[in-house]
Amino acid sequence: MYYQNIKLMDLFALISSVEVGKHLYWTIGNYKIHGQVFLVSWLVIAVLISLAIVGTRNLQRAPQKFQNFMEFILEFLQDIAKNQIGEHEYRFWVPYIATIFLFILGSNWAGALIPWKLISLPEGELAAPTNDINTTVALSLLTSIAYFYAGLNKNGLGYFSRYIEPTPVLLPINILEDFTKPLSLSFRLFGNILADELVVSVFTLLVPILVPLPVMILGLFASSIQALIFSTLSAAYIGEAMEGHGEE
């Protein structure tokens, strides 16, 4: 039994050392981070901030052109939060839901539209930040922190009564659910974006002229849907946490 445990630990160590592709590493102290993820993330953030500044620089009572488009985006994101969280509580969470949606959408589109392979790095290659499991896990953990905060802020310690509802027998399952939520969010987003980029790369290698274009258009649509799913589920988890557990 002892030797079986040793072999199992060796197997886990081997699995944890597996890497998908090569990365540009930056060393900070004793830690290594994926430099290409930060580079593209900063670019996406810079573009979003620039659009926000330009869109709100000269606000008019009768919106025109770009301001009209920005207000449409804001109303769309407000509707996501309102439909999932509720009309009385949603306003506080609009900035978080909007930021999650816009960052994921910008990251996904950056990977689908920009030919990063034309830019050579000392090691690894540039790609969508959401193509890295570390990014999607970090976003999912932010959502987990958000819905725990929402539940505790609204219901106090009575929030934890949800784990024994409708019966204490479901305690292990309800606890396990809090672990599966971030896992499902992160792996769904990561898997879809990685698969989309792999498909485009394969088609580009096989038929480099016309075939990749419709695949890229389909990828843009799928990327938008993934951003919508992630933000909608995040809002739904927050709304669920704010329900009146233990108030009867």
The answer to whether residue 12 sits within a structural domain is no
Q: Is 151 exposed, middle or buried (0-12, 13-18, 19+ CB in 10 A)?
A: buried
pLDDT 10s digits, 218-246: 778 888 999 999 999 999 999 888 875 54
The answer to whether residue 86 sits within a structural domain is yes
pLDDT category at 76 given cuts 50, 70, 90 is very high
Structural domain harbouring 170:
19-241
The answer to whether residue 8 sits within a structural domain is no
Higher pLDDT, 142 or 116: 142
The answer to whether residue 11 sits within a structural domain is no
Position 16 scores a pLDDT of 40
The answer to whether residue 171 sits within a structural domain is yes
CA-CA distance, 232 to 77, in Å (whole number)? 9
End-to-end CA distance of the chain: 50
Residue 170 identity (one-letter amino acid): L
pLDDT 10s digits, 138-183: 999 999 999 899 888 888 887 777 777 777 777 888 788 888 888 8
pTM confidence score = 0.81
Residues 106-111, mean pLDDT to the nearest whole number: 88
C-alpha distances in Å from residue 224, one per residue of 17, 105, 106, 219: 32, 6, 9, 9
Whether residue 62 is predicted with pLDDT greater than 50 in this model: the reply is yes
CA-CA distance, 99 to 113, in Å (whole number)? 21
Position 102 scores a pLDDT of 94
Q: Which residues contact 102 (CB under 8 A, 6 or more apart)?
A: 48, 77, 227
In the numeric block, which tokens belong to residue 47?
Answer: 């573009």
The answer to whether residue 91 sits within a structural domain is yes
The answer to whether residue 111 sits within a structural domain is yes
Whether residue 72 is predicted with pLDDT greater than 80 in this model: the reply is yes
Position 209 scores a pLDDT of 61
The answer to whether residue 2 sits within a structural domain is no
Domain count, the chain: 1
